[in-house]
Amino acid sequence: MIDLGPHAVFIVWAYIGVALGIFGLLAWTLMDARVTAARLAALEAQAPRRPDRGTQA
Amino acid sequence: MHDETTQRQNWWQRIAHPGQFVAWTTSLLWPLTVLTAALFALGLWFAFFNSPQDYQMGDTVRIMYVHVPNAWLSQFVYAVMTVSALGTLVWRHPMADVSMKAAAPLGALFTALALFTGALWGRPTWGTFWEWDGRMTSTLVLLLIYLGIIALWRAFDDQLRAARVVAVFTLVGAINIPIIKFSVDWWSTLHQPASVFRADGPTMPGSILTPLFVMFFAFTFLFLALHLKAMHTEVKRRRVMTLERRLAQGAQS
């Protein structure tokens, strides 16, 4: 690792903060997608599915 | 001419259908993810191992490689939401409010990170974490606008009604974007004026511009990938709400 000089603490914390924010956002986005997909699958198993014209090529 | 018009209508119609939009754009997610990861790896290598100190700021210039992309995205995401708001109110495009809703939390986080990294850069450079100057205050206002928009979305059960209210609020809030951009020119601020996107070209050397641009594209592609994924989830969430309503009606009858 390079020497970041006398203000290293500010540089390191800036990158740690951004990394935490981005990984948190990634985790939240993926978790939300997974929970919603699971809920949709459960509901579609319960509800009779109507033909969806739009998803056909 | 006729074929071209037909093709354009088909394309417009196809992305207007939520199911088609998801089917069309799912294949973009992995390439975007790989490209984003590669750009971040390259950008971080440049930022820490292959870029010089600034002659005035020393090593703290390395904070710029995360601060500027987040600051750029804080405004770019709002611009995306503004276009989506027009899509909702003017063109009534079915995916416009999905885009608007999916973008808001992303914009809020990028704005919060811009403020956070700016404060950490400000302390060694200016001697203070915070100053109520034009650029910083208008960026804080942008964060509050994002939070207000997120709260508005959550306040309505009917998402189509929410979309119209949020679209109007978003368009009103868009006035803050030029204020952020030109605040450093209009007022004598602590924040430095634009040094990259200038009419007379960037004022920094290529050795600092290169990592900055790599990180700029890394963050931008990250937003595109996350926005797409969040839009897919929102489409599914609306299908969940429709099915829940249908099941509830079935249970009542």
Neighbour tally for B204: CB within 10 Å: 14
* Tens-digit pLDDT profile for residues B199-245: 777 778 888 999 999 999 999 999 999 999 999 999 999 999 999 98
The verdict on A55 touching B (C-beta cutoff 8 Å) is: yes
pLDDT exceeds 50 at position B1: no
ipTM confidence = 0.88
- Contact B80/B208 with Cβ under 8 angstroms? no
Domain boundaries, chain B: 29-244
Could B247 and A47 be called an inter-chain contact, meaning their C-beta atoms sit closer than 8 Å? yes
Report pLDDT for A16.
97
Could B243 and A8 be called an inter-chain contact, meaning their C-beta atoms sit closer than 8 Å? no
Nearest beta carbon to residue B58 from set A5, A17, A44: A5
Report pLDDT for B115.
98
The verdict on B207 touching A (C-beta cutoff 8 Å) is: no
Hey, what amino acid is at B132? W
Q: How many helices (H) and strands (E) does chain B have?
A: 8, 0
The verdict on A34 touching B (C-beta cutoff 8 Å) is: no
How far apart are alpha carbons A47 and B248 in whole angstroms? 11
Nearest beta carbon to residue A10 from set B112, B124, B236: B124
The verdict on A18 touching B (C-beta cutoff 8 Å) is: yes
- Name which residue leads in pLDDT, B185 or A38: A38
The verdict on A4 touching B (C-beta cutoff 8 Å) is: yes
Please tell me the pTM assigned to this model: 0.89
Could A11 and B59 be called an inter-chain contact, meaning their C-beta atoms sit closer than 8 Å? yes
B146-149: long-range contacts, CB 8 A cutoff, minimum separation 24: B146/B78, B146/B104, B146/B105, B146/B107, B146/B108, B146/B111, B147/B108, B148/B173, B149/B81, B149/B104, B149/B173
Confidence of residue B3 (pLDDT cuts 50, 70, 90): low
* Tens-digit pLDDT profile for residues B119-164: 999 999 999 999 998 999 999 999 999 999 999 999 998 888 999 9
